[in-house]
Chains A and B, each alone.
Chain A
Amino acid sequence: MTEAILRIRNLRTYFFTRRGIVKAVDGIDFDLRKSECLCLVGESGCGKTVTALSILNLVDSPPGRVVSGEIYYDSLNLLKCPPDQIRRIRGKEIAMVFQDAQSALNPVFTIGDQIAEQVKLRPEVNQREAKEQVINLLKEVGMPIPEKMIGYYPHQLSGGMRQRAMIAMSLSGDPQILIADEPTTAVDVTVKGQILDIFSQLKSTRQMSLLFITHELGIVSEIGDRIMVMYGGKIVETATVSELLNNPKHPYTISLIKCLPDITQVMGRLESIPGTVPSLINPPSGCLFHPRCDKAMAVCSKEEPPPFIVAEGRTVFCHLYSRPER
C-alpha cells in the first residue's frame, strides 16, 4: 500500500450559530494516499465541502471553527500551522478547484493574469517565462488556442473553458494534492466527461493525489480509486470503488445506488430515499441514518455505530455488521 500523504484524524468542524451548534463535520478519519483519487460522496449538506475547507483552514470564522482533530500533511499538522505557513501550503502543496468557475474567477481580470498570479510568486520567474508557463498550464488542461485565451475575461468564455481555466489556476502552484469540490456540477454532460478526463490525466502525469468531492456516483465510477460515503457529517462507509458499487454494505449506500437511473431498463418512477437529511443542529440519537433506514433495529436509535472492518480496507459504520459476533 502506498503511503498516506494526507492523514485526517477525528476532524470536527462545528458552526456556532444563534439557533445552535451545527456539527457539519463530526469526527471523521481518513487517509489520502499518494497519487490516488479518493472520492467523497454524499447528499447536499452532509459536510463534504466543509471537510475540504477545513483541510485548507478556510472555514469562515466566526461562525465556523475546527473544534478538534488533526490534519497531517507529511509530518505537519495543518490545524496548528501559523497563518503564514498555511498560506504557503495553500496553492503550492494543496490546491482547490471550486464548483462554480463563473464566480470563482475574478470578473475584472483576464484569465491569463489570474493564472499568472501564482506563477509570478516564484522569484526566478520573469514576465515572459510566466506567460509561457501560463500557456503551458492552459495546454495541459486542454484549453483551445491558449495563446489567445490568456487575454480573455471570464465572461467571454464558455462554462467548460472557465472550468479549465479554474483548474489551470489551481495547478499553477504545482501542488501535490488537488481538492476538487464538485467541479462538474456547473457544466453540461459533454463537458463533464472532458473535465473528468483532465483530472484522470493529471493524476497520472503529475502523480497528484486527488480528493474528489461529488454527489454523483456515476462520476465516481469513472475516476475514483477509493470512495468514502458521508452522511450527516460522518463517514458511513469506505471502500474501493468497484467493491462499493458492486457490493454496498451500508443501508444508506445501498439506497443511494438504488437511486441511480438504469438506462438499460424501462422503469417507472426513480427510487428515492424516504425522509430528509437530518438536521445537524439537533441530530437524531444513535446512528444518524436510522430514521430513514429500512433495516433499523432497536440498537440503532441508542448507540452510535462503531467502525466495523468487513474486509481489507473496507470499513462500515453500521450495527448490521456487528450481529454475527454477538
Chain B
Amino acid sequence: MTNRLKSTRSITRKVDRVKNLAFIIAMVLLVTTLLLDIFVIEMIFDLLTYLYIALGLLFVRYGIPLLYASRRLIQYYWQRAIKNKLAVGGLVFILLLILLAFIGPLFTVDPTAVNFDEKNLPPLGFTIEESVYKIETKQFITSRITGTSEHPLGTDDKGRDLLAMIVSGTRVSLQVGLFATGIAIILGTLIGVSAAYLGGKTDNILMRFTDIMMTFPFFLLLVFIVFIFGPNLALIVIVIGLTGWTGTARLIRSESLSLRTREFVMASKALGASDRRIILSHLIPNVISLIIVIATLSIPGVILAEAALSFIGLGDPSVASWGMILKAGQQNLDTTWWVAVAPGIMLFLTVLAFNFLGDGLRDAFDPRSNI
C-alpha cells in the first residue's frame, strides 16, 4: 500500500497526454515558422494567418472536446433556438456570408484591379447621367451610363469592381469579428472561471485587473497603437481581442460563482480531480451556453469597431474591408452613391443577423422563458 501512496506518476490520462503532446508540438512548430518568417526569410504568411492557425489549433484541442462534452445541452438548446424565426434567419444569413467569404473570391474578379475606362459604373439596372468634357469638341456632353452585368454592383471611382470588393470585405469583416471575439472569449472565460473557482486573493486580483481594463478607453488605445505600429489588420484583431474580454470575464465569473458551490464540484474534488480538471471539465461545460451567447452578441460590435476604425482612416489600407469602401464612397455620395450604400447595407444586415441570432440563443438558453 505504501507503494500505491508514493507513486509519483502524474495523474493525467493517457489519451490526454497524447493530445497535449501533439498540441504542444504543433504550437512549437507554428512559433518556429513565425520566428523564421520574421527574422530569417521574407514572410511566407502574414501575421494574421499565424493567428488563425493558432486559434484553430486551440479550437481543435479544447473547443471541439468541450462542445462534444456538452452536446446534449447544445442539442437541447438548438431545438429551442430554431423555434425563433428571426434567429434562424440570422443564422442562415451568417452561414451564407461565411460561404461567400470562402468561395466568393473564386468567382469574382480581382478586387484591386484598377480600370479607368470603366470607372463609376452604376449597379446593374440603374442608369445615371454623366457630363463628360470632350477634348476634341471642347464641350460638355451628357452621356447616359447603364450598369453592366460584368459589374453587377457597379464600380468605384477607380474602376474597381464593387462586388469583388464587397466579397473580399466580407472575408475581412468575418475574420476580424470571429477571431477578435475568439481571443476575447478565451481570455474572458479563463479569467472569469478561474477567478470564481479559485476565489480569495486570486479572485480579487483578477477582478481588479478586469476593472482597470474596463476603464481603459479601448478605441483610443486602438487609435494609439495603429498610430505607433502602423495599420495592420492582425494587430487590430489582437488589440480588439486583448481588450474586449472584460465584460465576458465578469459575466462568466458571476455564473461560475454559483456553480462553484454546487456539490458536484466538491464530489469531483473528493474523488481526486485537480483544479485544472474541475475548471475545464466541470465548470466550463456548464457555462458553455452563456459563452455562446456572449460570443454571438459581441461579434457585431467588433465588426463595427473595425469598420469605424477604417472609416476614420486608421484601417489596414492593404485590405478592402467594408469600412474602407464605405469611407471611399462617402466622399462622392452625391454622384456615385452605390459605392457607399453597398457596404453600408452589408454591415447593417450582418450586424442585424448576429444580433437576431444572439437574442434568439439567449432566449433559448434562458430557463425562465417558455418557448
Residue ranges of A at the interface with B (Cβ–Cβ < 8 Å):
56, 58, 62, 74-76, 85, 87-93, 95-96, 98, 100, 103-110, 113, 117-118, 120-121, 123, 126-127, 153, 166, 169-170, 172-173, 176
Give, as a whole number of angstroms, the nearest-CB distance from A121 to chain B: 6
Name the one of A76, A88, A90, A109 contacting B269, with C-beta atoms under 8 angstroms: A90
Name the one of A100, A113, A118 contacting B272, with C-beta atoms under 8 angstroms: A118
B40 contacts chain A at the CB level, 8 A cutoff? no
Chain B's closest residue to A109 (CB) is: B69
> What's the Cα separation between A126 and B18 when bound, in Å?
13
B41 contacts chain A at the CB level, 8 A cutoff? no
Q: With A76-B5, A88-B7, A92-B4 known to touch, is A103 a contact of B264 (CB < 8 Å)?
A: yes
- State how many residues of chain B have any CB contact under 8 Å with chain A: 32
Chain A's closest residue to B71 (CB) is: A108
B251 contacts chain A at the CB level, 8 A cutoff? no
Given A103-B264, A104-B267, A123-B9: 15 more A-B contacts, CB < 8 Å: A58-B266, A87-B274, A88-B11, A91-B272, A96-B267, A98-B267, A106-B282, A108-B286, A110-B72, A117-B273, A118-B272, A120-B14, A121-B13, A169-B271, A172-B271
In the bound complex, residues from chain A placing their C-beta under 8 Å from that of B263 are 98, 100, 103-104
A-B contact count (CB 8 A): 95
> What's the Cα separation between A89 and B4 when bound, in Å?
9
Q: Are A90 and B200 in contact (CB under 8 A)?
A: no
Give, as a whole number of angstroms, the nearest-CB distance from B84 to chain A: 23
Q: Are A103 and B272 in contact (CB under 8 A)?
A: no
In the bound complex, residues from chain B placing their C-beta under 8 Å from that of A117 are 268, 271, 273, 281
B70 contacts chain A at the CB level, 8 A cutoff? yes
B2 contacts chain A at the CB level, 8 A cutoff? yes
B154 contacts chain A at the CB level, 8 A cutoff? no
Q: Are A108 and B4 in contact (CB under 8 A)?
A: no
In the bound complex, residues from chain A placing their C-beta under 8 Å from that of B269 are 58, 90
In the bound complex, residues from chain A placing their C-beta under 8 Å from that of B282 are 106
In the bound complex, residues from chain A placing their C-beta under 8 Å from that of B273 are 87, 117
A-B contacts, 18 of them at CB < 8 A, read A75-B2, A87-B272, A87-B273, A88-B7, A89-B5, A98-B266, A98-B267, A98-B270, A103-B264, A105-B267, A107-B264, A110-B72, A118-B271, A120-B14, A123-B14, A126-B14, A169-B271, A173-B271
B73 contacts chain A at the CB level, 8 A cutoff? yes
Name the one of B12, B70, B266 contacting A104, with C-beta atoms under 8 angstroms: B266
Q: With A88-B11, A108-B286, A153-B72 known to touch, is A95 a contact of B271 (CB < 8 Å)?
A: yes
B262 contacts chain A at the CB level, 8 A cutoff? yes
Q: Interface code B172-192, partner A: CB below 8 Å = 1, 0 otherwise?
A: 000000000000000000000
In the bound complex, residues from chain A placing their C-beta under 8 Å from that of B271 are 90-91, 95-96, 117-118, 169-170, 172-173
Give, as a whole number of angstroms, the nearest-CB distance from B59 to chain A: 20
Q: With A88-B11, A123-B14 known to touch, is A108 a contact of B274 (CB < 8 Å)?
A: no
Give, as a whole number of angstroms, the nearest-CB distance from A134 to chain B: 14
